[in-house]
Amino acid sequence: MHQAKLAQMARTLLYRRRLAAAADLLENKIRAFLLKKGRQEIIDGGFKISLKADGQIEVKEVSPPNPNQPELPLNRPEGGSTQEQRSTKIDIVKVQMVKDGSIEYGKNPISNPRDLAELGFKFLKNADREMFLLVCLNNKNFVNCLHLVTIGTLDRAFISPREILKTALLANAAAIAFIHNHPSGDPQPSAEDVHLTKSLETCADLFGIRVLDHVIVGDNGRYESFSEKKMLTPPK
């Protein structure tokens, strides 16, 4: 191989490696920003930025609104004063849940903490960071859906009760349960875990939603259950 050609290939390889390193740095900064905000997804500047279940950052361009699309008559003033024509428009919106994947599970209801633990082991297997799952159930304790609330760090996950209850209400859940992992392998609940669970119980009670359990999974099949430890508020 000609020496000049080899040098050019080496230069190109070095350039691409520097680009890859810069991309990794940007991805880490975006991930840290989303975690700090407690958000899984943000739309900004024409881009939809999402934190996926595996921790990867997904970026998609969002189409700008079509200026030729006619407005609803409700938004288009006819006549009236100048002040009325300058009034602020109110957005008309709709809210829906979006399926983000699926996992295999049996047809039986959740009947004990071990059922939740096995669900956690299936979803959180080999996770190297704390991940917090919301399990939405119907009034017979069949699972309606799973929601990955957040992906945290080695020893911490940022949880927003607001986001949890929003999903539970959209799923029409009669009961909810929580599952999260401890990457250290020790499933013993921390003081923060206890405080968070109490806060979530209080919020769920406002909407008449039962908190069935909070299960923490570790390694080698170990888990700890708040219901087994009688750390949940007894039903009224």
pLDDT in tens, the chain (236 residues): 566 777 777 778 777 877 777 777 778 788 778 777 777 888 887 788 888 776 778 888 877 666 565 555 555 555 555 555 567 788 887 777 777 777 777 778 999 999 999 999 988 877 888 989 999 999 999 999 999 888 877 666 678 788 889 999 999 999 999 999 998 899 999 999 999 999 999 999 999 999 999 999 999 899 999 999 999 988 76
Distances (CA, A) of 202 to 84, 128, 226, 228, 232: 44, 30, 15, 19, 11
Dist. CA 222–CA 187, nearest whole Å: 7
> Is 181 a domain residue?
yes
Both ends of the chain: CA-CA distance in Å? Answer: 81
Give the domain extent around 32.
3-61
Q: Do 210 and 118 share a structural domain?
A: yes
> Is 100 a domain residue?
no
Q: Do 141 and 55 share a structural domain?
A: no
Q: Do 210 and 135 share a structural domain?
A: yes
Model pTM?
A: 0.60
Q: Which two tokens stand for residue 151?
A: 């992906």
> Is 232 a domain residue?
no
Q: Do 216 and 153 share a structural domain?
A: yes
Beta carbons within 10 angstroms of residue 27's beta carbon = 14
> Is 201 a domain residue?
yes
Query: Based on the structure, what is the number of domains in the chain?
Result: 2
Q: Do 132 and 196 share a structural domain?
A: yes
Q: Do 208 and 118 share a structural domain?
A: yes
How much is the CA Rg of the chain, to the nearest whole Å? 24
Q: Do 139 and 202 share a structural domain?
A: yes
Distances (CA, A) of 176 to 44, 133, 144, 208, 211: 32, 10, 10, 11, 5
Q: Do 30 and 118 share a structural domain?
A: no
Q: Do 117 and 20 share a structural domain?
A: no
Q: Which two tokens stand for residue 114?
A: 């071990």
Q: Do 30 and 129 share a structural domain?
A: no
Classify strands 175-181 and 210-217 as parallel, antiparallel or unpaired: parallel
User: Residue 226 corresponds to which amino acid?
Assistant: F
Give which of 204, 206, 207, 208 is closest to 178, Cα–Cα: 204
> Is 47 a domain residue?
yes
Q: Do 117 and 57 share a structural domain?
A: no
**Domain holding 147: CATH number?**
3.40.140.10
> Is 84 a domain residue?
no
> Is 153 a domain residue?
yes
> Is 80 a domain residue?
no
Q: Tell me the CB-side half-sphere exposure of residue 7, using CA atoms within 13 A.
A: 3
Of 25, 46, 61, the domain-final residue: 61
User: Residue 49 corresponds to which amino acid?
Assistant: I
pLDDT, residue 97, reads 75
- Helix H or strand E encompassing 44: strand 41-44
Q: Do 188 and 117 share a structural domain?
A: yes
Q: In what order do the strands lie in the sheet with 47-51?
A: 41-44, 47-51, 57-61
- What are 103's strand-pairing partners? none
Classify strands 41-44 and 47-51 as parallel, antiparallel or unpaired: antiparallel
